[in-house]
Structure 1
């Protein structure tokens, strides 16, 4: 398991650029077909954006559902897709939809057959729009089994990981229950479980990784066991085109430009461009920066531009997998968002924003979205409101009363913990009255008070008449069941009141080049660029501007990497996969 790069040949059947979710499945298919493949990763670490993720696949009609006795089918999942994904664009086609829905469960079974260990979530993780026809309140998402990092041998130091989550042995789906440690018995038991897992690792020397690192740690294990060729520290910067066909890439190796040729295809799985400030500001209608993102550090978009340079069509470049973040309006980051090595790791506020006694408003004091709903939709609605109000929704403001601060976490802090530095710096505002909070935030006081009064009436009836907060199983899975009649709705009435500025953060961009059902990159006229495939965040999502469930982007990346390799290698299995 040496981490020294194996020999790099001048030519392979399949050249795969990037080591995110879709890359190992593609290389495994190539090997199965008797073909040669290489994975070229520009970073010093293996795993790409998938390693930094919450570590979930969304795989409709998967075998784990069947094993659990939960009915699903291609027809039911297609019904849900068609109701949830309303965007119309060149990457959201019936053919691409069907390719994903048909190939995804087969891809999963293929990887399970090679040793991938997965499970259904321990705690609830419904489809995000489970109340739509075809939606599944029990969820179609799956998780990786935890991995002992030491099993990777010398490679354990070359696995990409999100630092705050890297050494937490409890996976993401258990955190909503953990957040209720001061409210429910289940929350207290979850806190004990978390403490026990931490103690176990400390006493035994085990280093448990979960979430995205567990996905990619397992994929790395399989790759090494199967003898796949992985080249780290090998950035690609240009496509090689001959007679209109992509036949390879130019990489940088030891300070020199080297051409690596592909006999049957180049698959670009290069992530998005969240960290490319100039390009994001060029394509986004509204304020955006590379500072609010939690994306992979290598998410800089050079190869997306390379595809555009040879005529690739694009769509949805202005959207992302939004997960809102917070920081001081003067640009300073709060205590807890700066890692020990100086890296900025912005807070992600999906879970704490879902809990009672809080609302998110624009600068007119008006609510913007279902605060407990799908996080990508929240980001889309922030930008929509910002356009409608002439720039009064970035930032938005989360307003909470003292019960939220006493009962629930915020950012990196446990329930009831509010660092004095948050208040002293102005990151978190505090006032005895709503008028006082409005003045500190620059929010219209009359509008805010009227909105809070309206919201408080919804808390009494349990029905959010404006945005439906708490009407879905997904919302309720992240609420406080001790709050009645709706676990996501709690009045804002007890001072002191608090407020934090909210910005449209993300975990990656969701737009890119347009591909067809075989993951082939196409031009604006729909014609295929021969020899070129793309998967993952480098493509315009098959889900358009919607995130239908946890792990949708990773599920699609794995699936289309799997499909792309079958197509590029001329596999006779492709027709069966998509039948």
Structure 2
């Protein structure tokens, strides 16, 4: 949608073709964070940033896989993209004043300002198209469809203790109750819903058609260049100037995942949070005409620990991103009862720890006090009920640590020893084994009111609880090789005329590293803007050349 908007504003006639029955893709079900160093929103708020430091931070994260030109293009165009969106579209941003980069203790990292969110969007503006916007993950909503952002969550967790929080929660509930009189879910859109909703509203207002249920089968090539594509139902779509691939990578393609994710071969079950239509069809189609598919990234996916919630249709995946693992009183252990990673690191680093230690499944563990104060995964804190999760077996319970070990199959003796050792460290506020709560990013996700360490508290108030988790992802990092303008390259690094890629179809400029929140959507929007702008410029040059030749 970003590429379409940029190309449209450059004078091109554009159309968007979506494989799914809904538009919005993985963006619509995401947290919506957008990482843009030195962006104009943070500058307007008086915050300073340094693009060279941001470059050094990315360089340290990617190591020998760094693509300097691609990273420089992103850092240069990112702030431009923000300005373009704010001026020409309905995508409006607000910055997070404090949101540390994931490795906040490393050179070049920032403690805030780089992460942007889309402003809350009123879905009613989409009118009859609202039902075509891909809905959010149901487990991230309340009462069957009410969305909350980080600010709202803080109020809901404190609504029994603070009148201001109770009033905020009450107003949101009243708005939601009014929505449900006319809509199947809430129309107050936040997070990735706000990003996708605002982009779609911008496209619709500019009369850019969005065709749903159009699946790419192959690319049409003439004279060495891409001139359109063929659909699964036999239609031929021709493009006068360019085809842009932005289909979300290949997280739903089991065969491709097994090829590039070694831990699956090692016996790990693996789950994705990405939409099912993201099967890598665009990457496969591009490869078939000679495009270069990069498979050398440090990691093939943006990792996230996943638990499985039983439901009427089997099980549905739930990602444990930032709400539980870093909280005081939560630990993760393997089947031997041992901790294997710092629980407060990013979701990507957490699963990296699982993979490196050969942990095929693990357990998040807490005591009763922690469960009711902070919740655990989809188990909400007090006053929300949680016995339904006990009845389904999703949440395991033990009156003692030994009983919990028996219920889960964890090695009892080692587990009890692990908890006792952790408790001793938690009482003094220093995790000697893994350093939980030792960086600004980690304490940011803890409880700032808990002392001495916002991420550490002993597990000592029975009963005890556990949830089983597995390796998973929220998208894939490996994609098509492109140049700084988003043009797809062949296996000899030559440009394939007429073919562009952005989003997760383009190989990640982070090369499989995950340095901060928003490093998928930030580059996606930026290279969408670059692609749309350059395609329009190239089309204009082509028109001028044609006129000159004719004359």
* TM-score w.r.t. length of structure 1: 0.83
Find the counterpart in structure 2 of residue 4 from structure 1: none
Q: Relative to 1, partners in 2 of residues 1:482 and 1:172: Cα closer, same or farther, differing over 3 Å?
A: same
Find the counterpart in structure 2 of residue 313 from structure 1: 293
CA contact (8 A) 1:405 1:418 kept: no
Could you tell me how far 1:369 is from its partner in structure 2? Answer: 2.2
List gaps (5 residues or longer) in structure 1: 1-23, 328-332, 387-392, 575-579
Find the counterpart in structure 2 of residue 228 from structure 1: 208
CA contact (8 A) 1:356 1:480 kept: yes
List gaps (5 residues or longer) in structure 2: 542-551
Of 244, 249, 265, the residue aligned with 1:272 is 249
- Taking the aligned partners of 2:56 and 2:97, their CA distance within structure 1 comes to 25
CA contact (8 A) 1:60 1:72 kept: yes
Find the counterpart in structure 2 of residue 408 from structure 1: 374
Instruction: Indicate yes or no: 2:521 matched with 1:554.
Output: yes
CA contact (8 A) 1:99 1:517 kept: yes
CA contact (8 A) 1:322 1:507 kept: yes
Q: Relative to 1, partners in 2 of residues 1:371 and 1:179: Cα closer, same or farther, differing over 3 Å?
A: farther
- Taking the aligned partners of 2:94 and 2:3, their CA distance within structure 1 comes to 24
- Taking the aligned partners of 2:327 and 2:158, their CA distance within structure 1 comes to 13
Q: Relative to 1, partners in 2 of residues 1:317 and 1:130: Cα closer, same or farther, differing over 3 Å?
A: closer
How many residues matched? 527
Q: Relative to 1, partners in 2 of residues 1:414 and 1:529: Cα closer, same or farther, differing over 3 Å?
A: same
Q: Relative to 1, partners in 2 of residues 1:200 and 1:423: Cα closer, same or farther, differing over 3 Å?
A: closer
Note the 1:46-125 alignment, pairs <5 A: 46-83=23-60, 85-89=61-65, 92-120=66-94, 124-125=98-99
CA contact (8 A) 1:121 1:173 kept: no
Aligned-residue Cα RMSD (Å) equals 2.9
Of 168, 176, 184, the residue aligned with 1:193 is 168
Find the counterpart in structure 1 of residue 16 from structure 2: 39
CA contact (8 A) 1:147 1:214 kept: yes
- Taking the aligned partners of 1:425 and 1:32, their CA distance within structure 2 comes to 52
Find the counterpart in structure 1 of residue 544 from structure 2: none
Find the counterpart in structure 1 of residue 547 from structure 2: none
- Taking the aligned partners of 1:202 and 1:79, their CA distance within structure 2 comes to 48
- Taking the aligned partners of 1:47 and 1:318, their CA distance within structure 2 comes to 25
CA contact (8 A) 1:382 1:504 kept: yes
Could you tell me how far 1:132 is from its partner in structure 2? Answer: 1.9
Note the 1:270-419 alignment, pairs <5 A: 270-287=247-264, 292-311=271-290, 312-315=292-295, 316=297, 319-327=300-308, 333-334=309-310, 338=311, 342=313, 345-350=316-321, 351-386=323-358, 393-416=359-382, 419=386
CA contact (8 A) 2:227 2:238 kept: yes
Could you tell me how far 1:455 is from its partner in structure 2? Answer: 2.2
Once the two structures are overlaid, the 10-residue window that deviates more, 59-68 or 524-533, is 524-533
- Taking the aligned partners of 1:290 and 1:250, their CA distance within structure 2 comes to 35
